[in-house]
Amino acid sequence: MKNMFISDLHLEPESLYIVDLFIDFLLSASAKSNNLFILGDFFEVWIGDDDNSPFNQKVVSALQKATQQGLKIHIMHGNRDFLLGKRFFRETGCQRLPDEYVINLAGRPTLLMHGDTLCTADLSYLRFRKKTRNWFVQKLFLLKPLRKRQEIAMKMRAASMAHTQTVTQEIMDVTLAEVERVMSKHCVQDLIHGHTHRPAVHHFPLNDKPATRTVLAPWHKEGYVLVYDSEGNNDLLVLR
């Protein structure tokens, strides 16, 4: 049995190569009882489960096939695809993970997160997040026609790009105090997250014991899968 971790694929119709890399990977990973954890920003944008574009259908049916073959797929919301909803999870057979989720990784409790909430210095993003995670705001958005939602999503994307160009690199990275707070809250020494697009394994002391923070790599031109075997040995699979 293997546990596999990926995040930040940012799948969109413009990056068909990455989509095909992912679908090929799914076919090879679909052996029974393997777990695949997708830690957010799987899609570049998701404006509602009723968006039946050919692109969305292609990804949904690939996920469906994989779960039917026995692969357990767990998906966490990112800051771009947080509208992945009940219908998506029902149709694909994937399981939704809450924003903070602890798994037992070969005997070690390990916290999984997307990572956006760790960037506490980015106050304007956190304000935006609070607003868009409100169920009432989401309901109102989902009631709008698809065309209108597409327009709004495009405007938000442009605003987000402008924002990331004005704030400093430090502000967009995680805050160590917040990392320590969340890890202590869940009583873990190991954390795996994505979001920052700064792949690394950080070693640091936490509550007088060694701790690790593993940051997953985004899929730009290649795919990256962090694979743990049942003994807890890990390996980085690079897909081209």
What is the binding site for Mn ion (CB under 5 A)?
41, 78-79, 195
C-beta of 36 vs 45, nearer to Mn ion: 45
Closest to Mn ion by CB, 38 vs 71, is 38
Tell the smallest beta-carbon distance from residue 194 to Mn ion (Å): 7
Element of type H or E holding 108 = strand 108-112
Minimum separation from the CB atom of position 87 to Mn ion (A) = 23
Of 77 and 149, nearer to Mn ion (C-beta) is 77
Q: Rounded distance, CA 192 to CA 5, Å?
A: 9
Q: What is the CA radius of gyration of the chain?
A: 18
CB of residue 207 vs Mn ion: minimum separation in angstroms?
Answer: 28
Least distance between Mn ion and beta carbon 68 (Å) = 29
- Exposure letters 85-106 (e unless 16+ CB within 10 A, then b): beebbeebebeebeebbebebe
Relative to beta strand 234-239, strand 108-112 is unpaired
- Closest to Mn ion by CB, 67 vs 79, is 79
CA 102 to each of CA 69, 99, 177, 193: distance values in angstroms, whole numbers, following the listed order: 25, 10, 19, 12
Give the residue closest to Mn ion by C-beta: 195
Q: How far is the CB of 7 from Mn ion (least distance, A)?
A: 8
Residue 100 near residue 186 (C-beta atoms within 8 A): yes
Q: Which is nearer to Mn ion, 41 or 49 (CB)?
A: 41
